[in-house]
Amino acid sequence: MDTHAAPEQPQHDAIACGPPIRQLFRDVIADRLPDRMPLQAAMLFDSETDPAWDERTSLAEFYNEILHQDTCQPYTAEGLALLAALAVDDRIPARHRFQAVDLLFRTATVAERHLAETWPATPQHADPDSEARACKAVQLHTPDLLARWPAECPQFSWPSPASPSSFRRTTPCPP
């Protein structure tokens, strides 16, 4: 028997592995959507996540699950609830809230952007029903996003008719 063998390494909880932003996203989603987890939430809660992922890689994969290669899928609209929850929660750093809002609005405009890129032809990979459902889902979340507008830091909130510049906060964003 080898007495110099290394002790068995404990199994790591794969959910705890990975960048801290993943844990923060999970906490926010669990608090805000406890009863209705969209399919894409598995990227945050699945125990089989690569522990070597860094923040950028894991977020790119998560966002890609919602809007895959700038194309709406039948499940895209449900995943937008995740982005909306992240976009309005103060626990999420401003730059990540901005990324969530950016992806929400890019999703809402997929159909128009694809038509503009391929006009007069029809986009090859278009899914008009999924695109319409996604756009409607974003419209449903827009009032919550606009309600936050006056309180957002200047780097996050660009000029908007719903929030005159006189109502904008002048303090910088927290890190």
- Bigger pLDDT: 66 vs 15: 66
- Cis status, amide bond into 154, omega within 30 of 0: no
- The Cα 48–Cα 62 span in angstroms is 14
Give the burial class of 161: count Cβ atoms within 10 A of its Cβ; 0-12 exposed, 13-18 middle, 19 or more buried. Answer: exposed
Query: Using 50, 70 and 90 to split pLDDT, how confident is the model at 51?
Result: low
Task: Strands of 126-173 (E only): list them.
Answer: none
Q: Which of 71, 170, 88, 42 is nearest to 130 (CA)?
A: 71
Residue 133: per-residue pLDDT: 97
Are 51 and 12 within 8 A, CB to CB? yes
**pTM value?**
0.75
Lowest mean pLDDT among 25-29, 46-50, 127-131, 139-143: 46-50
Are 10 and 44 within 8 A, CB to CB? no
Q: What would the mean pLDDT of 49-54 be, rounded to a whole number?
A: 64
Q: Which residues contact 35 (CB under 8 A, 6 or more apart)?
A: none
